[in-house]
């Protein structure tokens, strides 16, 4: 979104001390540009990254707004790879994660000592945190997918049943997906129902 940056990583062209022209796009400008290229078939996806404007959260919020707008307002169906901003809050990372195909974080240098040499204002802890959040969210999604798969395989023929019983005692019972060959007996003082799934 921008080559402005409050950090001074010696390997990066956008570093604070570098004498280059700076520019920044607004959320709307990035969305409009992306959609213009996408509609003309110039691009199939978006790789979105940014220098750090004012703070990690300020920047991450703008990145999140771009991907949210693309998916929910513009119906952008292309691939989105988003670079998470180290130090950004968990809630912003999770919100952004709802709209992207991939999220990653730059470790920059494998050792903490090496990182201090080239980017003294950064540390690996601020990278590990978003990585842990991304990992947890992936595990959550995988768990939900497994649960959904198990739920679907309970009984393909069993349906959601609803009965409205008795003209006077209008009682409604909803039975969700009884297991194969299972029998449920529901009774009240007025009646007894026996349900056997197919
Ligand atoms: S934080 Fe990122 S954009 Fe900023 S100087 Fe370092 S590597 Fe470059």
Q: What is the pLDDT of residues 22-43, one digit of tens each?
A: 999 999 999 999 999 999 999 9
Which percentage of the chain shows pLDDT scores above 70? 75
pLDDT of the residue at 152: 60
For position 182, what pLDDT does the model report? 52
Per-residue pLDDT of 87-143, as tens digits, reads 899 999 999 999 999 998 888 888 888 888 998 888 888 888 888 888 888 888 888
pTM for the model stands at: 0.72
Q: Which of residues 75 and 139 earns the better pLDDT score?
A: 75
Mean pLDDT along residues 168-189: 46
User: In this predicted structure, what is the pLDDT of residue 151?
Assistant: 62
Cβ–ligand 1 distance for 15 under 6 Å, the answer: yes
Nearest CA to ligand 1 atom 3: 51
The mean pLDDT value for 16-22 works out to 96
Grade residue 147 by pLDDT with cuts at 50, 70 and 90: confident
| Ligand 1 pocket mutation pick from 8, 9, 24, 124 by most atoms within 8 angstroms of CB | 9
CA of 90 to the centre of ligand 1 (A): 20
Using the atom order of ligand 1, give the atom closest to the CA of residue 16: 5
pLDDT at 73: 97
**Counting atoms of ligand 1 from 1, which one is nearest the CA of 5?**
4
Angle, CA 149 vertex, CA 147 and CA 151 arms, to 5° = 70
**Does residue 192 register a pLDDT over 80?**
no
**Cα(58) to centroid(ligand 1), Å:** 15
Cβ of residue 5 lying under 6 Å from some atom of ligand 1: yes
Task: Collect contacts of 83-87 with beta carbons under 8 A, ≥24 apart.
Answer: 83/47, 83/48, 83/49, 83/50, 84/60, 84/130, 84/134, 85/50, 85/52, 85/56, 85/59, 85/60, 85/130, 86/56, 86/122, 86/126, 86/127, 86/129, 86/130, 87/55, 87/56, 87/57, 87/126, 87/129
């Amino acid at each position: 979104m921008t080559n402005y940056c409050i950090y001074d990583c010696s390997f990066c062209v956008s570093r604070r001390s570098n004498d280059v022209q700076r520019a920044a796009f607004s959320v709307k400008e990035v969305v409009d540009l992306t959609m213009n290229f996408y509609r003309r078939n110039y691009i199939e996806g978006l790789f979105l990254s940014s220098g750090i404007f004012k703070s990690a959260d300020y920047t991450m919020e703008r990145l999140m707004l771009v991907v949210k707008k693309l998916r929910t307002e513009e119906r952008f169906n292309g691939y989105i790879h988003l670079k998470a901003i180290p130090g950004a809050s968990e809630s912003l990372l999770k919100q952004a994660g709802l709209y992207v195909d991939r999220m990653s974080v730059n470790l920059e240098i494998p050792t903490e000592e090496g990182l201090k040499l080239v980017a003294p204002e950064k540390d690996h802890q601020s990278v590990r945190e978003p990585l842990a959040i991304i990992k947890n969210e992936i595990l959550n999604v995988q768990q939900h997918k497994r649960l959904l798969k198990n739920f679907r395989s309970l009984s393909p023929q069993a349906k959601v049943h609803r009965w409205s019983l008795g003209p006077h005692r209008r009682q409604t019972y909803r039975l969700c997906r009884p297991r194969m060959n299972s029998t449920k007996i529901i009774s009240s003082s007025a009646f007894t129902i026996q349900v056997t799934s197919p």
